[in-house]
Amino acid sequence: MAQEASSSTSSKTISLKTGDGEIFEIEASAAKQMKTVQRLIDDLGDDITIPLHNVFSKELPKIIEYYKKDITGEITKDFEAEFVKDLNDDEVKVLFLAANYLDANKLFEFLSQNIADRLESKSVEYVRKYFGVENDFTPEEESKLREERAWSFRGIKEDE
Protein backbone atom coordinates (compact mmCIF):
# COMPACT_ATOMS: atom_id res chain seq x y z
CA MET A 1 0.00 0.00 0.00
CA ALA A 2 1.40 3.38 -0.93
CA GLN A 3 2.32 5.53 2.01
CA GLU A 4 0.94 9.01 2.25
CA ALA A 5 3.74 11.47 1.63
CA SER A 6 4.62 12.97 4.97
CA SER A 7 5.42 16.28 3.34
CA SER A 8 1.95 16.71 1.86
CA THR A 9 0.85 20.18 2.84
CA SER A 10 -2.68 20.16 1.56
CA SER A 11 -4.44 19.57 4.86
CA LYS A 12 -1.63 19.95 7.32
CA THR A 13 -1.98 22.63 9.95
CA ILE A 14 0.71 24.33 11.94
CA SER A 15 0.29 25.55 15.52
CA LEU A 16 1.47 29.06 16.26
CA LYS A 17 1.89 30.42 19.76
CA THR A 18 1.70 34.15 20.30
CA GLY A 19 3.85 36.22 22.65
CA ASP A 20 0.99 36.27 25.13
CA GLY A 21 0.64 32.52 25.15
CA GLU A 22 -2.33 31.83 22.90
CA ILE A 23 -2.26 29.15 20.24
CA PHE A 24 -3.70 29.46 16.76
CA GLU A 25 -3.83 26.99 13.89
CA ILE A 26 -2.90 27.85 10.34
CA GLU A 27 -2.74 25.79 7.21
CA ALA A 28 0.78 24.87 6.17
CA SER A 29 0.33 26.42 2.76
CA ALA A 30 -0.63 29.71 4.36
CA ALA A 31 2.31 29.46 6.76
CA LYS A 32 4.60 29.21 3.74
CA GLN A 33 3.64 32.78 2.80
CA MET A 34 5.16 34.04 6.03
CA LYS A 35 8.87 33.50 5.57
CA THR A 36 9.69 33.85 9.27
CA VAL A 37 7.22 31.12 10.13
CA GLN A 38 8.51 28.91 7.35
CA ARG A 39 12.09 29.33 8.57
CA LEU A 40 11.04 28.33 12.07
CA ILE A 41 9.22 25.32 10.69
CA ASP A 42 12.34 24.35 8.74
CA ASP A 43 14.42 24.61 11.90
CA LEU A 44 12.02 23.15 14.44
CA GLY A 45 9.86 20.80 12.38
CA ASP A 46 6.18 21.10 11.60
CA ASP A 47 4.92 19.03 14.52
CA ILE A 48 6.03 21.51 17.11
CA THR A 49 4.12 24.59 18.17
CA ILE A 50 5.96 27.50 16.58
CA PRO A 51 6.65 30.33 19.04
CA LEU A 52 6.11 33.87 17.75
CA HIS A 53 7.42 36.09 20.54
CA ASN A 54 6.69 39.39 18.84
CA VAL A 55 3.16 38.73 17.59
CA PHE A 56 0.17 38.80 19.90
CA SER A 57 -3.31 37.37 20.10
CA LYS A 58 -4.90 40.59 18.93
CA GLU A 59 -3.13 40.61 15.54
CA LEU A 60 -2.45 37.03 14.64
CA PRO A 61 -6.06 35.98 13.87
CA LYS A 62 -6.37 38.90 11.48
CA ILE A 63 -3.17 37.90 9.70
CA ILE A 64 -4.31 34.32 9.51
CA GLU A 65 -7.59 35.54 8.03
CA TYR A 66 -5.68 37.40 5.30
CA TYR A 67 -3.57 34.44 4.30
CA LYS A 68 -6.48 32.05 4.42
CA LYS A 69 -7.99 34.18 1.67
CA ASP A 70 -4.66 34.40 -0.12
CA ILE A 71 -4.17 30.67 -0.57
CA THR A 72 -7.57 30.32 -2.18
CA GLY A 73 -6.72 33.21 -4.50
CA GLU A 74 -9.61 35.29 -3.22
CA ILE A 75 -7.87 38.49 -2.28
CA THR A 76 -9.63 41.29 -4.12
CA LYS A 77 -9.62 45.06 -3.72
CA ASP A 78 -13.00 44.76 -2.02
CA PHE A 79 -11.71 42.19 0.42
CA GLU A 80 -8.71 44.37 1.26
CA ALA A 81 -10.89 47.44 1.77
CA GLU A 82 -13.17 45.45 4.06
CA PHE A 83 -10.16 44.00 5.88
CA VAL A 84 -8.90 47.38 7.11
CA LYS A 85 -12.22 49.20 7.25
CA ASP A 86 -12.75 48.93 10.99
CA LEU A 87 -9.14 49.27 12.03
CA ASN A 88 -7.92 52.56 13.41
CA ASP A 89 -4.51 53.97 12.45
CA ASP A 90 -2.75 52.47 15.46
CA GLU A 91 -4.23 49.04 14.91
CA VAL A 92 -3.01 49.08 11.32
CA LYS A 93 0.44 50.02 12.56
CA VAL A 94 0.53 47.00 14.89
CA LEU A 95 -0.53 44.74 12.04
CA PHE A 96 2.08 46.30 9.78
CA LEU A 97 4.84 45.62 12.32
CA ALA A 98 3.64 42.06 12.73
CA ALA A 99 3.62 41.53 8.96
CA ASN A 100 7.17 42.79 8.89
CA TYR A 101 8.26 40.48 11.70
CA LEU A 102 6.61 37.53 10.02
CA ASP A 103 8.16 38.50 6.67
CA ALA A 104 4.69 38.25 5.14
CA ASN A 105 5.38 40.18 1.99
CA LYS A 106 1.98 40.54 0.40
CA LEU A 107 0.33 41.75 3.56
CA PHE A 108 3.28 44.02 4.27
CA GLU A 109 3.00 45.75 0.90
CA PHE A 110 -0.74 46.13 1.21
CA LEU A 111 -0.49 47.63 4.68
CA SER A 112 2.36 49.98 3.65
CA GLN A 113 0.07 51.43 1.02
CA ASN A 114 -2.87 51.55 3.40
CA ILE A 115 -0.91 53.48 6.01
CA ALA A 116 0.35 55.86 3.31
CA ASP A 117 -3.25 56.41 2.18
CA ARG A 118 -4.31 57.14 5.75
CA LEU A 119 -1.50 59.62 6.30
CA GLU A 120 -1.70 61.39 2.96
CA SER A 121 -3.87 64.29 4.11
CA LYS A 122 -2.84 64.35 7.74
CA SER A 123 -1.17 67.25 9.49
CA VAL A 124 2.49 67.40 10.39
CA GLU A 125 1.59 67.10 14.10
CA TYR A 126 -0.48 63.99 13.55
CA VAL A 127 2.28 62.25 11.61
CA ARG A 128 4.87 63.17 14.24
CA LYS A 129 2.72 61.61 16.93
CA TYR A 130 1.98 58.57 14.83
CA PHE A 131 5.63 57.74 14.33
CA GLY A 132 6.72 59.05 17.74
CA VAL A 133 9.05 61.51 16.03
CA GLU A 134 10.35 64.54 17.87
CA ASN A 135 10.43 67.90 16.20
CA ASP A 136 14.04 69.05 16.27
CA PHE A 137 13.50 72.25 14.31
CA THR A 138 13.46 75.55 16.16
CA PRO A 139 10.18 77.49 15.92
CA GLU A 140 11.87 79.91 13.52
CA GLU A 141 13.19 77.13 11.31
CA GLU A 142 9.86 75.38 11.23
CA SER A 143 7.92 78.48 10.38
CA LYS A 144 10.31 79.26 7.53
CA LEU A 145 9.97 75.73 6.17
CA ARG A 146 6.20 75.92 6.31
CA GLU A 147 6.18 79.23 4.52
CA GLU A 148 8.46 77.97 1.76
CA ARG A 149 6.13 75.11 0.99
CA ALA A 150 2.81 76.67 1.96
CA TRP A 151 1.11 75.16 -1.07
CA SER A 152 1.57 71.67 0.33
CA PHE A 153 -0.45 72.68 3.41
CA ARG A 154 -3.46 73.76 1.39
CA GLY A 155 -6.56 71.84 2.32
CA ILE A 156 -4.87 70.13 5.27
CA LYS A 157 -6.61 70.46 8.61
CA GLU A 158 -3.97 71.33 11.16
CA ASP A 159 -5.64 69.66 14.11
CA GLU A 160 -6.15 66.30 12.45
Partner 1 sequence: MRNNIAKGGNSMEMKILYLPHELIIQILLRLPVKSLIRFKCICKSWFSLISDPRFAKTHFELTTAHTDRILFITSTPEIRSIDLEASLNDDSAFTSPNLNFLLPRSYSDLEIKGSCRGFIVLCCSSNIYLWNPSTGVHKQIPLPPFGSNLDANYFFGFGYDHSKDDYLVVSMCDDPNSATFLSHLEFFSLRANTWKEIECTTSTHFPYMNACDDPRVGCLFNGAIYWMAFRHDISRNVIVGFDLMERKLLDLQFPDDFDHEPTNCGLWVYGEFLSLWAIDYYENDTVEIWVMKEYKVNSSWAKTLVLSIDDIPTQYFSPLCSTKSGDIIETDGVTGLVKYNNKGQLLEHRSYCNNASISEVALYSESLLSLPDANEQA
Q: Is 5 helix (H, G, I), strand (E, B) or coil?
A: coil
- Nearest CA to 128 out of 155, 160, 153, 150 is that of 160
Q: Which stretch binds partner 1 (CB under 8 A): 25-33, 40-48, 63-71, 86-94?
A: 86-94
- From the list 134, 140, 158, 159, which residue makes contact with partner 1 (rule: CB under 8 A)? 134
Residue from 17, 34, 96, 104 binding partner 1 (CB under 8 A) = 96
Query: Do 92 and 112 form a contact (C-beta atoms < 8 A)?
Result: no
Residues 29, 69 contacting (CB under 8 angstroms): no
- Least separation in angstroms between residue 101's CB and partner 1 is 7
Q: Which is nearer to partner 1, 4 or 120 (CB)?
A: 120
C-alpha 112/C-alpha 33 separation (Å) is: 17
Residue type present at position 79: F
Q: Which residues bind partner 1 (CB under 8 A)?
A: 18-20, 36, 54-58, 90, 93-94, 96-98, 100-101, 103, 108, 112-113, 115-117, 119-121, 124, 127-128, 131-137, 142, 145-146, 148-149, 151-156
